[in-house]
Structure 1
Protein backbone atom coordinates (compact mmCIF):
# COMPACT_ATOMS: atom_id res chain seq x y z
CA UNK A 1 0.00 0.00 0.00
CA UNK A 2 1.36 3.41 -0.96
CA UNK A 3 1.11 6.67 0.87
CA UNK A 4 -1.70 9.19 0.52
CA UNK A 5 0.79 11.54 -1.14
CA UNK A 6 1.71 8.90 -3.73
CA UNK A 7 -1.95 8.12 -4.39
CA UNK A 8 -2.79 11.80 -4.87
CA UNK A 9 0.18 12.36 -7.17
CA UNK A 10 -0.71 9.32 -9.30
CA UNK A 11 -4.45 10.06 -9.58
CA UNK A 12 -5.89 10.82 -12.97
CA UNK A 13 -9.30 10.79 -14.61
CA UNK A 14 -10.02 7.91 -16.97
CA UNK A 15 -12.52 9.08 -19.59
CA UNK A 16 -12.63 5.62 -21.17
CA UNK A 17 -12.84 2.41 -19.17
CA UNK A 18 -13.37 -1.27 -19.90
CA UNK A 19 -16.45 -3.33 -19.01
CA UNK A 20 -15.05 -4.73 -15.75
CA UNK A 21 -15.93 -3.09 -12.44
CA UNK A 22 -15.39 -3.68 -8.75
CA UNK A 23 -17.99 -5.81 -7.02
CA UNK A 24 -20.14 -4.47 -4.20
CA UNK A 25 -17.98 -6.47 -1.79
CA UNK A 26 -14.87 -4.75 -3.16
CA UNK A 27 -16.55 -1.33 -2.87
CA UNK A 28 -17.71 -1.59 0.73
CA UNK A 29 -14.28 -1.22 2.43
CA UNK A 30 -13.42 1.67 0.09
CA UNK A 31 -16.67 3.44 0.96
CA UNK A 32 -15.98 2.87 4.66
CA UNK A 33 -12.52 4.42 4.28
CA UNK A 34 -13.84 7.35 2.21
CA UNK A 35 -16.35 8.01 4.98
CA UNK A 36 -13.45 9.01 7.23
CA UNK A 37 -13.25 12.51 5.68
CA UNK A 38 -13.53 15.47 8.02
CA UNK A 39 -17.17 15.68 9.04
CA UNK A 40 -18.02 18.42 11.57
CA UNK A 41 -20.35 16.92 14.21
CA UNK A 42 -20.21 13.50 12.47
CA UNK A 43 -23.43 14.20 10.59
CA UNK A 44 -22.63 11.87 7.66
CA UNK A 45 -24.43 14.27 5.27
CA UNK A 46 -23.98 12.12 2.19
CA UNK A 47 -24.95 8.89 0.57
CA UNK A 48 -23.89 6.97 -2.49
CA UNK A 49 -26.04 5.09 -5.00
CA UNK A 50 -24.51 2.34 -7.12
CA UNK A 51 -25.89 2.05 -10.64
CA UNK A 52 -25.18 -1.04 -12.71
CA UNK A 53 -26.90 -2.73 -15.66
CA UNK A 54 -30.47 -1.54 -16.20
CA UNK A 55 -30.06 1.28 -13.64
CA UNK A 56 -27.73 3.00 -16.11
CA UNK A 57 -30.40 2.80 -18.81
CA UNK A 58 -32.98 4.27 -16.43
CA UNK A 59 -30.58 7.13 -15.74
CA UNK A 60 -30.12 7.60 -19.51
CA UNK A 61 -33.91 7.86 -19.88
CA UNK A 62 -34.07 10.43 -17.05
CA UNK A 63 -31.28 12.49 -18.63
CA UNK A 64 -33.10 12.32 -21.94
CA UNK A 65 -36.32 13.51 -20.31
CA UNK A 66 -34.42 16.39 -18.68
CA UNK A 67 -32.68 17.48 -21.87
CA UNK A 68 -35.49 16.69 -24.32
CA UNK A 69 -33.02 14.81 -26.50
CA UNK A 70 -34.23 11.25 -25.98
CA UNK A 71 -32.43 8.60 -23.91
CA UNK A 72 -28.79 9.42 -23.25
CA UNK A 73 -26.09 6.80 -23.80
CA UNK A 74 -23.70 8.65 -21.46
CA UNK A 75 -24.41 6.39 -18.45
CA UNK A 76 -23.38 3.39 -20.56
CA UNK A 77 -19.77 4.66 -20.77
CA UNK A 78 -18.84 2.70 -17.64
CA UNK A 79 -20.13 -0.54 -16.10
CA UNK A 80 -20.51 1.11 -12.68
CA UNK A 81 -21.70 4.58 -11.80
CA UNK A 82 -21.65 5.77 -8.22
CA UNK A 83 -24.03 8.67 -7.68
CA UNK A 84 -22.73 11.12 -5.07
CA UNK A 85 -25.54 12.66 -3.05
CA UNK A 86 -25.30 15.52 -0.61
CA UNK A 87 -27.84 14.67 2.07
CA UNK A 88 -27.79 17.54 4.60
CA UNK A 89 -28.85 16.94 8.18
CA UNK A 90 -30.49 19.48 10.46
CA UNK A 91 -27.79 21.28 12.45
CA UNK A 92 -27.44 24.57 14.28
CA UNK A 93 -23.64 24.25 14.08
CA UNK A 94 -22.91 22.98 10.58
CA UNK A 95 -24.23 24.98 7.59
CA UNK A 96 -25.52 23.18 4.53
CA UNK A 97 -22.60 24.32 2.34
CA UNK A 98 -20.17 22.64 4.76
CA UNK A 99 -22.18 19.44 4.66
CA UNK A 100 -22.10 19.50 0.85
CA UNK A 101 -18.32 19.90 1.08
CA UNK A 102 -18.19 16.70 3.14
CA UNK A 103 -20.07 14.83 0.41
CA UNK A 104 -17.60 16.20 -2.16
CA UNK A 105 -14.72 15.08 0.05
CA UNK A 106 -16.14 11.56 0.24
CA UNK A 107 -16.41 11.45 -3.55
CA UNK A 108 -12.83 12.62 -4.03
CA UNK A 109 -11.36 10.24 -1.46
CA UNK A 110 -13.37 7.36 -2.95
CA UNK A 111 -12.04 8.23 -6.40
CA UNK A 112 -8.48 8.17 -5.01
CA UNK A 113 -9.07 4.80 -3.36
CA UNK A 114 -10.59 3.32 -6.52
CA UNK A 115 -7.68 4.67 -8.57
CA UNK A 116 -5.16 3.24 -6.12
CA UNK A 117 -6.97 -0.13 -6.31
CA UNK A 118 -6.37 -0.14 -10.07
CA UNK A 119 -9.75 1.01 -11.36
CA UNK A 120 -10.35 3.74 -13.90
CA UNK A 121 -12.46 6.53 -12.42
CA UNK A 122 -13.87 9.82 -13.65
CA UNK A 123 -16.17 12.18 -11.76
CA UNK A 124 -18.79 13.34 -14.26
CA UNK A 125 -21.38 16.07 -13.92
CA UNK A 126 -23.49 18.03 -16.38
CA UNK A 127 -26.27 20.58 -16.61
CA UNK A 128 -28.83 17.82 -15.98
CA UNK A 129 -27.37 16.85 -12.55
CA UNK A 130 -29.92 19.08 -10.80
CA UNK A 131 -32.83 18.26 -13.13
CA UNK A 132 -36.01 17.08 -11.36
CA UNK A 133 -36.24 14.01 -13.65
CA UNK A 134 -32.74 12.92 -12.67
CA UNK A 135 -33.44 13.56 -8.97
CA UNK A 136 -36.59 11.41 -9.18
CA UNK A 137 -34.67 8.60 -10.91
CA UNK A 138 -32.27 8.53 -7.95
CA UNK A 139 -35.02 8.76 -5.33
CA UNK A 140 -33.66 12.01 -3.87
CA UNK A 141 -35.52 13.89 -1.18
CA UNK A 142 -36.29 17.60 -1.58
CA UNK A 143 -33.24 18.53 0.52
CA UNK A 144 -30.76 16.28 -1.26
CA UNK A 145 -28.53 17.32 -4.16
CA UNK A 146 -26.87 15.12 -6.71
CA UNK A 147 -23.20 16.10 -7.08
CA UNK A 148 -22.51 13.87 -10.07
CA UNK A 149 -21.35 10.32 -10.65
CA UNK A 150 -18.10 8.47 -10.36
CA UNK A 151 -17.84 6.47 -13.58
CA UNK A 152 -15.86 3.34 -12.70
CA UNK A 153 -14.46 0.53 -14.81
CA UNK A 154 -11.32 -1.30 -15.78
CA UNK A 155 -8.36 0.65 -17.05
CA UNK A 156 -7.65 0.21 -20.72
CA UNK A 157 -4.03 -0.57 -21.54
CA UNK A 158 -2.11 2.68 -21.99
CA UNK A 159 0.63 4.57 -20.32
CA UNK A 160 0.06 7.35 -17.82
CA UNK A 161 1.89 9.97 -19.87
CA UNK A 162 0.00 12.85 -21.38
CA UNK A 163 -2.42 13.63 -18.58
CA UNK A 164 -2.70 17.12 -17.17
CA UNK A 165 0.19 18.69 -15.32
CA UNK A 166 -0.02 19.34 -11.61
CA UNK A 167 -0.64 22.74 -10.11
CA UNK A 168 2.11 25.20 -9.22
CA UNK A 169 2.04 25.02 -5.40
CA UNK A 170 3.89 28.35 -5.02
CA UNK A 171 1.10 30.09 -6.94
CA UNK A 172 -1.73 28.26 -5.20
CA UNK A 173 -0.57 28.53 -1.57
CA UNK A 174 -0.86 32.14 -0.48
CA UNK A 175 -0.66 33.97 2.80
CA UNK A 176 -3.02 36.15 4.77
CA UNK A 177 -2.77 39.79 3.62
CA UNK A 178 -1.13 42.24 5.98
CA UNK A 179 -3.56 44.05 8.26
CA UNK A 180 -4.03 47.60 7.44
Structure 2
Protein backbone atom coordinates (compact mmCIF):
# COMPACT_ATOMS: atom_id res chain seq x y z
CA UNK A 1 0.00 0.00 0.00
CA UNK A 2 1.26 3.48 -0.87
CA UNK A 3 2.12 6.12 1.69
CA UNK A 4 -1.04 8.25 2.12
CA UNK A 5 0.54 11.54 0.98
CA UNK A 6 2.13 9.93 -2.08
CA UNK A 7 -1.18 8.24 -2.89
CA UNK A 8 -3.08 11.52 -2.74
CA UNK A 9 -0.42 13.32 -4.78
CA UNK A 10 -0.51 10.66 -7.50
CA UNK A 11 -4.24 9.82 -7.65
CA UNK A 12 -5.62 10.11 -11.16
CA UNK A 13 -8.51 8.86 -13.23
CA UNK A 14 -8.14 6.09 -15.80
CA UNK A 15 -10.60 6.05 -18.72
CA UNK A 16 -13.43 3.61 -18.01
CA UNK A 17 -12.86 1.71 -21.25
CA UNK A 18 -9.28 1.00 -20.09
CA UNK A 19 -10.33 -0.64 -16.80
CA UNK A 20 -10.18 -4.36 -17.56
CA UNK A 21 -10.41 -7.57 -15.56
CA UNK A 22 -9.51 -8.55 -13.01
CA UNK A 23 -11.93 -6.57 -10.92
CA UNK A 24 -11.35 -6.27 -7.18
CA UNK A 25 -12.22 -9.36 -5.16
CA UNK A 26 -15.32 -9.35 -2.96
CA UNK A 27 -13.11 -8.68 0.08
CA UNK A 28 -11.32 -5.80 -1.67
CA UNK A 29 -14.65 -4.32 -2.77
CA UNK A 30 -15.96 -4.50 0.81
CA UNK A 31 -12.82 -2.65 1.95
CA UNK A 32 -13.33 -0.02 -0.74
CA UNK A 33 -16.98 0.51 0.17
CA UNK A 34 -16.15 0.69 3.88
CA UNK A 35 -13.60 3.42 3.15
CA UNK A 36 -16.05 5.18 0.81
CA UNK A 37 -18.62 5.37 3.61
CA UNK A 38 -16.18 7.10 6.01
CA UNK A 39 -17.13 10.63 5.00
CA UNK A 40 -18.51 13.70 6.72
CA UNK A 41 -22.19 13.02 7.25
CA UNK A 42 -23.86 15.70 9.33
CA UNK A 43 -26.70 14.19 11.31
CA UNK A 44 -25.54 10.63 10.56
CA UNK A 45 -28.14 10.40 7.79
CA UNK A 46 -26.15 8.26 5.32
CA UNK A 47 -27.76 10.29 2.51
CA UNK A 48 -26.32 7.94 -0.11
CA UNK A 49 -26.21 4.27 -1.01
CA UNK A 50 -24.33 1.97 -3.39
CA UNK A 51 -25.46 -0.10 -6.38
CA UNK A 52 -22.79 -2.61 -7.41
CA UNK A 53 -22.88 -3.57 -11.10
CA UNK A 54 -20.66 -6.58 -11.75
CA UNK A 55 -20.29 -9.74 -13.79
CA UNK A 56 -22.96 -10.43 -16.44
CA UNK A 57 -25.15 -7.66 -14.99
CA UNK A 58 -22.83 -5.12 -16.67
CA UNK A 59 -23.69 -6.27 -20.20
CA UNK A 60 -27.37 -6.66 -19.27
CA UNK A 61 -27.58 -3.09 -17.98
CA UNK A 62 -25.63 -1.72 -20.96
CA UNK A 63 -27.99 -3.50 -23.36
CA UNK A 64 -31.11 -2.28 -21.57
CA UNK A 65 -29.84 1.30 -21.51
CA UNK A 66 -28.97 1.15 -25.24
CA UNK A 67 -32.47 -0.15 -26.06
CA UNK A 68 -33.97 2.61 -23.94
CA UNK A 69 -31.93 5.25 -25.77
CA UNK A 70 -32.98 3.87 -29.18
CA UNK A 71 -36.63 3.84 -28.11
CA UNK A 72 -36.52 7.38 -26.74
CA UNK A 73 -34.49 8.78 -29.65
CA UNK A 74 -34.85 6.73 -32.86
CA UNK A 75 -32.56 9.24 -34.59
CA UNK A 76 -29.73 8.72 -32.09
CA UNK A 77 -26.46 8.10 -33.94
CA UNK A 78 -25.31 4.48 -33.88
CA UNK A 79 -22.04 5.50 -32.20
CA UNK A 80 -23.92 7.12 -29.33
CA UNK A 81 -26.11 4.04 -28.82
CA UNK A 82 -23.01 1.82 -28.96
CA UNK A 83 -21.29 4.00 -26.36
CA UNK A 84 -24.28 3.55 -24.05
CA UNK A 85 -24.25 -0.22 -24.63
CA UNK A 86 -20.55 -0.25 -23.75
CA UNK A 87 -21.06 2.04 -20.75
CA UNK A 88 -20.64 -0.96 -18.47
CA UNK A 89 -17.43 -2.11 -20.15
CA UNK A 90 -15.16 -1.62 -17.14
CA UNK A 91 -14.53 -4.59 -14.86
CA UNK A 92 -16.85 -3.27 -12.14
CA UNK A 93 -19.09 -0.25 -11.58
CA UNK A 94 -20.33 1.18 -8.32
CA UNK A 95 -23.16 3.65 -8.67
CA UNK A 96 -23.13 6.09 -5.78
CA UNK A 97 -26.71 7.19 -5.24
CA UNK A 98 -27.53 10.43 -3.45
CA UNK A 99 -30.59 10.22 -1.21
CA UNK A 100 -30.47 13.87 -0.13
CA UNK A 101 -33.75 15.27 1.01
CA UNK A 102 -35.42 17.82 3.24
CA UNK A 103 -34.32 17.66 6.87
CA UNK A 104 -35.08 19.88 9.83
CA UNK A 105 -31.38 20.55 10.56
CA UNK A 106 -29.21 19.31 7.68
CA UNK A 107 -29.40 21.24 4.38
CA UNK A 108 -29.77 19.14 1.24
CA UNK A 109 -26.60 20.75 -0.13
CA UNK A 110 -24.56 19.27 2.73
CA UNK A 111 -26.12 15.86 2.08
CA UNK A 112 -25.18 16.12 -1.60
CA UNK A 113 -21.63 17.08 -0.67
CA UNK A 114 -21.48 13.96 1.50
CA UNK A 115 -22.40 11.83 -1.54
CA UNK A 116 -19.65 13.56 -3.54
CA UNK A 117 -17.20 12.81 -0.74
CA UNK A 118 -18.25 9.14 -0.96
CA UNK A 119 -17.33 9.15 -4.67
CA UNK A 120 -13.94 10.69 -3.94
CA UNK A 121 -13.19 8.33 -1.03
CA UNK A 122 -14.12 5.37 -3.21
CA UNK A 123 -11.81 6.58 -5.99
CA UNK A 124 -8.96 6.99 -3.52
CA UNK A 125 -9.57 3.55 -1.98
CA UNK A 126 -9.56 1.98 -5.45
CA UNK A 127 -6.20 3.60 -6.22
CA UNK A 128 -4.79 2.61 -2.81
CA UNK A 129 -5.55 -1.05 -3.52
CA UNK A 130 -3.76 -0.90 -6.87
CA UNK A 131 -6.72 -0.59 -9.25
CA UNK A 132 -7.83 2.25 -11.49
CA UNK A 133 -11.05 4.25 -11.34
CA UNK A 134 -13.00 6.88 -13.22
CA UNK A 135 -15.91 8.89 -11.77
CA UNK A 136 -18.53 9.56 -14.46
CA UNK A 137 -22.15 10.56 -14.76
CA UNK A 138 -23.51 10.99 -18.30
CA UNK A 139 -26.85 10.37 -19.95
CA UNK A 140 -27.92 7.43 -17.77
CA UNK A 141 -27.48 9.51 -14.61
CA UNK A 142 -30.02 12.08 -15.75
CA UNK A 143 -32.56 10.35 -17.99
CA UNK A 144 -35.68 9.54 -15.89
CA UNK A 145 -36.32 6.17 -17.56
CA UNK A 146 -32.64 5.16 -17.35
CA UNK A 147 -32.63 6.06 -13.65
CA UNK A 148 -35.65 3.77 -13.22
CA UNK A 149 -33.89 0.90 -15.04
CA UNK A 150 -30.88 1.36 -12.75
CA UNK A 151 -33.15 1.08 -9.72
CA UNK A 152 -33.38 4.62 -8.37
CA UNK A 153 -36.30 5.84 -6.32
CA UNK A 154 -38.05 9.12 -7.19
CA UNK A 155 -36.05 11.11 -4.60
CA UNK A 156 -32.64 9.65 -5.59
CA UNK A 157 -29.98 10.85 -8.02
CA UNK A 158 -26.72 9.44 -9.31
CA UNK A 159 -23.78 11.22 -7.67
CA UNK A 160 -21.43 9.17 -9.83
CA UNK A 161 -20.77 5.92 -11.58
CA UNK A 162 -17.36 4.84 -10.30
CA UNK A 163 -15.82 2.58 -12.93
CA UNK A 164 -13.22 0.25 -11.45
CA UNK A 165 -10.73 -2.25 -12.85
CA UNK A 166 -7.15 -3.04 -13.70
CA UNK A 167 -5.67 -0.36 -15.98
CA UNK A 168 -4.70 -1.74 -19.39
CA UNK A 169 -1.76 0.67 -19.60
CA UNK A 170 0.01 3.34 -17.57
CA UNK A 171 -1.69 6.69 -18.07
CA UNK A 172 0.09 10.00 -17.79
CA UNK A 173 -1.30 12.66 -15.52
CA UNK A 174 -3.16 15.65 -16.88
CA UNK A 175 -2.06 19.19 -16.11
CA UNK A 176 -3.23 20.35 -12.68
CA UNK A 177 -3.97 23.96 -11.71
CA UNK A 178 -1.16 26.06 -10.29
CA UNK A 179 -1.92 26.96 -6.68
CA UNK A 180 -1.36 30.64 -7.53
CA UNK A 181 -4.36 30.39 -9.87
CA UNK A 182 -6.79 28.86 -7.37
CA UNK A 183 -5.70 30.12 -3.92
CA UNK A 184 -6.50 33.47 -2.39
CA UNK A 185 -6.05 34.56 1.18
CA UNK A 186 -8.74 36.46 2.98
CA UNK A 187 -7.72 39.29 5.18
CA UNK A 188 -8.88 42.65 6.41
Under TM normalisation by the shorter chain, which class is it?
A: 0.7 to 0.9
* Runs (5+) with no aligned partner, structure 1: none
Q: Which residue of 1 aligns with 2:6?
A: 6
Q: Specify which of 4, 17, 24 is matched with residue 22 of structure 1.
A: 24
Find the aligned partners of 2:186 and 2:105 in 1 and give their Cα distance: 26
* Offset at residue 27 of structure 1 (A): 1.1
- Contact 1:87-1:145 at 8 Å conserved across structures: yes
- Contact 2:98-2:112 at 8 Å conserved across structures: yes
Give the structure-2-normalised TM-score: 0.83
1:127-146 to 2 correspondences below 5 Å:
127-146=139-158
Q: Specify which of 125, 140, 149 is matched with residue 113 of structure 1.
A: 125
Find the aligned partners of 1:92 and 1:171 in 2 and give their Cα distance: 38
* Offset at residue 148 of structure 1 (A): 2.5
Find the aligned partners of 2:40 and 2:158 in 1 and give their Cα distance: 20
The ranges of structure 1 where at least 4 consecutive aligned residues each deviate by more than 4 angstroms after the TM superposition are: none
Q: Specify which of 27, 30, 37 is matched with residue 35 of structure 1.
A: 37
Q: Which residue of 2 aligns with 1:100?
A: 112
Aligned-residue RMSD, C-alpha: 2.1
Find the aligned partners of 2:14 and 2:181 in 1 and give their Cα distance: 27
* Offset at residue 21 of structure 1 (A): 0.3
* Runs (5+) with no aligned partner, structure 2: none
Give the structure-1-normalised TM-score: 0.86
Aligned residues: 176
2:175 aligned with 1:173: no
